[in-house]
Amino acid sequence: MTENRHDKLGLSDEQVLEMYRTMLLARRIDERMWLLNRAGKIPFVISCQGQEAAQVGAAFALDRAKDYALPYYRDMGVVLAFGMTAKELMLSGFAKAEDPNSGGRQMPGHFGQKTNRIVTGSSPVTTQVPHAVGIALAGKMEQKDFVSLVTFGEGSSNQGDFHEGANFAGVHKLPVIFMVENNKYAISVPVSKQLACEKVSDRAQGYGMPGITVDGNDPLAVYEAVKQAADRGRRGEGPSLIEAVSYRLTAHSSDDDDRTYRQKEEVEAARQEDSIHTFSAYLRELGVLTEEKEQEMQNEIMSLVNEATDYAENAAYADPETIFNYVYAE
């Protein structure tokens, strides 16, 4: 008999269903974007597939009415959980004027939406880490009790900005949650050629914070770790480093061919642990999800994705003259 793990974490059946729905929505939007890319309708895709459990598990552990998210380019699950909609993500995919992330200025995956406290990001990796520390510092100065969650890949944990930011947060005991989404590849370079230590979480020790590694395919394990880190942060005990290990199920991006550096068998094996299936199985075994409910959810999501695609495809591009807007305050 399957043990009810979410109940022990204080999560209701409705909440775990909502987590699953968010994971599935991210997956379906992502899959649609690949289709659109291969059909020549959008120039670029960078995928969340394989990392939805870590992203959604982490976001649901936060107070999404006040905490800050500093996502990286794969974090569709994080931004959906923080309030971005399928339509808004599609507008970004099509680079249309109404895209709330950037008005079509940035590539897809460069998230940002102030009303939902999703902090704008760039392409040079890891630059968002010190920003998360700065936001937490500001919160501490203003005596607020929010935390900031910053996510990045295991390759990014080699960048100076990770180390400088983590050390700063450790010294000043700031409420930052550093979450590494270890998908085992930095484009083509495997973890073994990225890290001299066994785990990314080993790096926490150097910065005076706890570091743990959890199964990134298990949204509940990630939820639990992030919840504890958020509680720690709110209690004034400082930052935490969480490494969520999963796998990148797609190529790095629509411009990459992963067959040139990894075996098909390896990818197939990872698909067996795909959280979309394993979490669905968990929910079904407990009777929280039924075949009927799942079908209903799939239908609802497909129509949402269809509507979003149609809307975004037909939406207007920004007027080229607006290229001059917002270089400085106007």
Active-site positions? 248, 252, 261
Neighbour-count burial for 226-260, b at 16+ CB within 10 Å, e otherwise: bbbbbebbeeeebbbbbbbbbbbbbbbbbebebee
Pick from 71, 130, 153, 175 the residue near other proteins by CB under 8 A: 130
Tell me how far, at minimum, the Cβ of 198 lies from other proteins, in Å. 26
Q: Does 179 bind other proteins (CB under 8 A)?
A: no
Number of residues binding to other proteins, judged by CB under 8 A:
44
Q: Does 238 bind other proteins (CB under 8 A)?
A: no
Q: Does 168 bind other proteins (CB under 8 A)?
A: yes
Q: Does 184 bind other proteins (CB under 8 A)?
A: no
Q: Does 204 bind other proteins (CB under 8 A)?
A: no
Q: Does 101 bind other proteins (CB under 8 A)?
A: yes
DSSP string over 5-73 = HHHHTT--HHHHHHHHHHHHHHHHHHHHHHHHHHTTSSS--B--TT-HHHHHHHHHTS-TTT-EEE--T
Q: Does 109 bind other proteins (CB under 8 A)?
A: no
Pick from 77, 93, 139, 238 the residue near other proteins by CB under 8 A: 139
Residues 7 and 26: their CA atoms lie apart, in Å, by: 24
Q: Which residues contact 193 (CB under 8 A, 6 or more apart)?
A: none
Phi, psi of 45, deg, nearest 5: -135, 140
| Number of Cβ within a 10 Å radius of residue 182 | 26
Tell me the window of 159-167, 184-192, 198-206, 269-277 that interacts with other proteins (CB under 8 A): 159-167
Q: Does 319 bind other proteins (CB under 8 A)?
A: no
Pick from 198, 292, 321, 330 the residue near other proteins by CB under 8 A: 330
Pick from 134, 153, 175, 216 the residue near other proteins by CB under 8 A: 134
Task: Judge contact between 240 and 210, C-beta under 8 A.
Answer: yes
- Choose between 129 and 308: whose C-beta lies nearer to other proteins: 129
* Positions 57 through 86 that interact with other proteins (CB under 8 A): 68
Angle among Cα 287, 292, 293 to the nearest 5 degrees reads 65
Residues of this chain that bind other proteins (CB under 8 A) = 68, 99-103, 105-106, 110, 112-114, 119-120, 122-124, 127, 129-139, 141, 160-161, 164-165, 167-168, 171-172, 325-330
